[in-house]
Structure 1
Amino acid sequence: MAISEAIALGVVQGVTEFLPISSSGHLVILQELLRWKGPSLEFDVAVHIGTLFAILVVLRKRIWSLIRDPLAYPSRLILLGTLPTAVAGLIAHFFARRAFESGILASTMLILTGFYLWSTRKAPQGKKDALRTSPLDALLVGIAQGLSVLPGLSRSGLTIATGLHRGLERHWAGEFSFLLAIPALVGAAILEAPRMAKAPILPLAMGTVSAFLSGSLALLFLLKVVRGGKLYRFAPYCWAVGIGYTVLVLL
C-alpha cells in the first residue's frame, strides 16, 4: 500500500469511525461499487488503534478518573455495557464475517440508522449523569453497540441515540458511548495482533497517525453536536447514501 493511500484511508476511517454514519457500511458499499478489495485486515486494525488513541486523548480527564478508581460505579457500567459487545464481536469474528459483506445489507442498515438518529429529535433532554445511569441503561447501550457489528449500523449513532432515549445527559451520553468503544477496540487489536506483526510497518504507522489526528477532530466535533441536541442532523446523509446505493444496484 502506498503511503499516500494509507494516509487518505486513515483520515477517512478517523472521520467515519466517530461521526454516526457507519465506517463499516461505507467500506462495504465502496467495495461493491468500485470492485475494490479494501484495506488489509492488518491496516484496518492499525487505523482502529489510531481512533482508540483519539478517544484516550479527547476523554483523558474522564478516563484518568476511572483509572484512579477502577471500582467506581461508572467503571462497573462500562463493564456491564461491554458484555453484549464482546458476545457479538466474537460471533462476528469467528462465525459470521462473510455474512457482513453485502452492500444491500449495509445500505439497508444505513437507512435504519438514519431513522434512529432522526428519532432523537423528540428525545427529552436527559438528566442522568454517570452516577444516575442505571445498570439497565448501560446494558441497553451495550446491546446497541453489539448490534453495530452489522455494517451500516453506526456504533456511535446507535449508542448515543439509545443513551439519549434512556434519559442520559447529552454530554454523558456522548462520553459513555466512546468509553464503551475502548474495550471493543482493544479487544479487536488483541485478536488481530499476530497478523499485524508480519505487515509492512510504514503504511500501518501512517494510517494510525492520520486516523488519530482526523479522529480527534471528528470526536470533538461530534461531542459538540450531541451537547447541542443535533444528532438527528446526520440522518439525511445516512438516508442519501443508503437509498442512493440501493437505487444504483436496482437500475
Structure 2
Amino acid sequence: MPSDKDVKKAFKLEASKHYEKFYAVSVLKNEGFERKKCITCGTNFWTVSPEQQTCGDPACSGGFRFFEGTPAKKKMDYIELWKEFARFFSARGYTPIKRYPVVARWRDDTDFVQASIYDFQPYVVSGEVKPPANPLVVPQFCLRFNDIDNVGITGAHYTGFVMIGQHAFMPPEKWDQAKYFTDIHEWLTKGLGLPKKEITYHEDAWAGGGNFGPCMEFFSRGLELGNQVYMM
C-alpha cells in the first residue's frame, strides 16, 4: 500500500497538468494572481508580483522574513485574532463552535488532535454523524511532537498551537470551492490587512486520517499562514 507521501507526490504530478480541475483558479485569476513554477523546488505557485521567482517557502525564499516586520496592517493579540476571525466568518455564514478535547478519545488511530479536521474524522467526514454546524469555524488546540528538535531554534515550530479551522461538509452538488477560497482570501486581505503582493499560494496535496485531497497553502514572508484542503 503506498504511503501518504507517495500518494501526494503522484497526485501533485497529475494536478499540475489539470490544475483548473482541482484549485480555485477562477478566483485567483480574478484577483490578479499569476501561476508560476518555483525556480528552486519546482512547486507551482500563484503570485501578483511579476518579479517573484520562488514559491515563498522559507527554504526557497531566504528563511522566515516575517521577523523583519509584519506586512499585516491590522494588529491583534492571541485572543483578539480568534474573536475577529469568528466575527468575520460569521458574517459569511459560518458558525463558530467550541474546540474539541486535545485527547482524541473518539479515534483509535491517534492519541492527540494534531489538526482541526481530526475533530471530525472519521464519523463526520464519512457522513455517519452530522457536524455540530455547517459550515463552521473552530479554534482547535493541537499537539504535535515531530518538530521538537526545532522548538526554540527556528521561531516557527511548536509542540502545541491553536489551529483555527474553516470547515464545510457538503455533498458534491452543494460544494462551492470558489466561495470557500474567497472567504479565506478575504480574511487574509481584509481581516488581517495583508497586501496581495505579500501572499503566495501553493498548489499542493494533503493526506491524513484516511482522507486525501488537493490543497492550497498560503505563505507570507516565509511563514505558512494556513492550508485549505479540498476532499473531493
TM-score, scaled to structure 2: 0.29
Greater share of strand: 2
Greater share of helix: 1
User: Which structure's relative contact order is higher, taking Cα pairs within 8 Å and 6+ residues apart?
Assistant: 1
